[in-house]
Amino acid sequence: MRFFTPILALLVAIPAAAQEPVVTSTEELRISVREWVETMRKIQEEENNWTKDNDVLKAYKEGLEKEIEDLKEEIERARTRRDGGDKQSLDKLTERNLYAEAQEELVRQLRVLEDGLAAKLPLFPAPLREQAKVSLAIETLQNGLQLPPEKQSQDVSQRLYNATELLAEVEKFQQQVHVHTELRKDSEGREFKMQMVYFGLAMAYGVNEDASFALTGRPEADGWKFQERKELAAGIQELVKAATDEKNASFNKLPLVIP
Pair 196, 154 in one domain: no
- For the chain, the farthest-separated pair of C-alpha atoms sits apart, in whole angstroms, at 94
Cα-based distances in Å from 212 to 161, 181, 233, 259: 45, 16, 7, 24
Q: pLDDT value at position 4?
A: 39
Query: Please, what is the Cα angle at 107 between 99 and 124, to 5 degrees?
Result: 155
Residue that is last in its domain, among 174, 206, 231: 174
Q: List residues bridging with 13 in a β-sheet.
A: 253
User: 196 and 204 in contact (C-beta within 8 Å)?
Assistant: yes
Pair 156, 217 in one domain: no
Pair 170, 224 in one domain: no
Q: pLDDT value at position 120?
A: 93
Pair 256, 227 in one domain: yes
Q: pLDDT value at position 117?
A: 93
Q: pLDDT value at position 72?
A: 83
Q: How far is CA 219 from the centre of its chain?
A: 10
Q: Is residue 1 included in any domain, yes or no?
A: no
As averages over each run of 10 residues, the pLDDT of the chain (259 residues) reads 39 44 71 79 79 77 81 78 60 69 84 92 94 95 89 87 94 93 93 95 95 94 93 94 80 80
Pair 145, 61 in one domain: yes
pTM of the model: 0.61
Domains held by the chain: number: 2
Kind of pairing, strands 177-185 and 191-199? Answer: antiparallel
Pair 93, 155 in one domain: yes
